[in-house]
Amino acid sequence: MKRLVVAVLIVCMAWSIAFASAKDISPREAKALLDKNKHVFLLDVRTPQESSQARLPGAVLIPINEFERRIREVPKNKTILVYCAVGSRSKPVAEYLSQSGYKDVYNMTGGIVGWYRNGYKIVR
């Protein structure tokens, strides 16, 4: 009986890791998350050139093409909010983080473009 319980727990853990998924949230929901939780790790996966033109206050830039090499810079003990220009690059990064054991990961759909269109602050 004890072995069965352990086996079931192992299968459940493996299943939850295999199907871990980042949560998509809108710029409005992202703003609310950032306002509520001051300890969110805000991850910008755009290019340095894009980031130099406009970025969200407090964001850490790790370009998508450097991400696998620099993943250790992303803290595992914080909520992670990933963004790019419109959400197409941030989605796979957010999914990768979720599948790599990061627990609380969000992808901002619409990216910084959606953020700006909602009238929220950006840094130029």
Written as tens digits, the pLDDT of the chain (124 aa) is 555 444 444 543 444 445 569 999 999 999 999 999 999 999 999 999 999 999 999 999 999 999 999 999 999 999 999 999 999 999 999 999 999 999 999 999 999 999 999 999 999 9
**99: phi then psi, degrees, rounded to nearest 5:** -75, -10
CATH 3.40.250.10 at 21-117, yes or no: yes
Domain ranges of the chain: 21-117
Secondary-structure percent of the chain, ordered helix, strand, coil, rounded to 5: 50, 15, 35
| Catalytic one of 84, 85, 93, 105 | 84
Is residue 84 part of the annotated active site? The answer reads yes
The pTM (predicted TM-score) of the whole model is 0.84
Residues with Cβ within 8 Å of 6's Cβ and at least 6 positions away in sequence, in order, are none
